[in-house]
Structure 1
């Protein structure tokens, strides 16, 4: 696996060489620093620990400051692991990962946290159509959930019943997004379509 941590900048659209207009998400990908190289001998598995985003030293615990100092880098905000790293990103401690590990036209997966929408009803959360229309004596039933279980049997509500509740703010992975364009001078990667999260949220691009 190869990957990089990035920050969602926003959306735009570009014209491709065939003249087709494509909606894209701009992600500021890296540069990330390799802060730990895990091996099967020392840790029981192979992984690369990468870090992104500067963090004030005074707000960083001493243990973390020493951890980052081993890699010869300043304290970082976001730390992620890449399990079983690809041979194309074999990096030593303290080396940098940039957006150039990906190529235009490559398919990637983007992991992020979706926008939180608070407590929502069944119509918005699950796509229910409501109980009925606003005629024939029904009162305020357009967005109601309807019956949720039996009376004497089973005398309870089954687990997993689709009901109103907290919506959003969940880990979401969008698969198979195409890398449309790369701007190495700005560390920008443009991927086709939308990715989860608000503007400025942290995402992980992986393949």
Structure 2
């Protein structure tokens, strides 16, 4: 087999992977969350500015979470995310402040502010609250990987609550390329006892 033919097959395989992966990601994003969850986990995302604020991608997560929390008043919520080098506050603290400003009572909010990656968020949440029935809140493109990592961390009864991004948000387009790669990386390397 010539080099060009081999290269052609490799390109076909890679393109097919991205297409199939994005179809499965889209399918998972359509699922409905379980009602009356014990815990709602809102996954962190980069915050911007000083003082730090939630950008549109993170606000979308928080807004759908607020709707769920108002409809399920017994559900506790865990906000996740540490502080990156280019952030002026932890993601979790910004998220907690946003929830409180929208009327969510402080005693319902638990803060996980150490994690730097999705896999770490679930590992650290398990140290804060027993898993119980859990709903994970993240953006639509991120649901599949998040559910996989939650289950690996020992959260068995888990469903997703998708915060859809509109097509005028650049993160939507970046996700078409980034998320299939991140999914493959998480499947291969992100394990509960070694969240790289």
* TM-score over 0.5 (shorter chain): no
The structure with the greater share of residues assigned to helix is: 2
- What range describes the TM-score normalised by the shorter chain of this pair? under 0.3
The structure with the greater share of residues assigned to strand is: 1
TM-score, normalised relative to structure 1: 0.22
TM-score, normalised relative to structure 2: 0.23
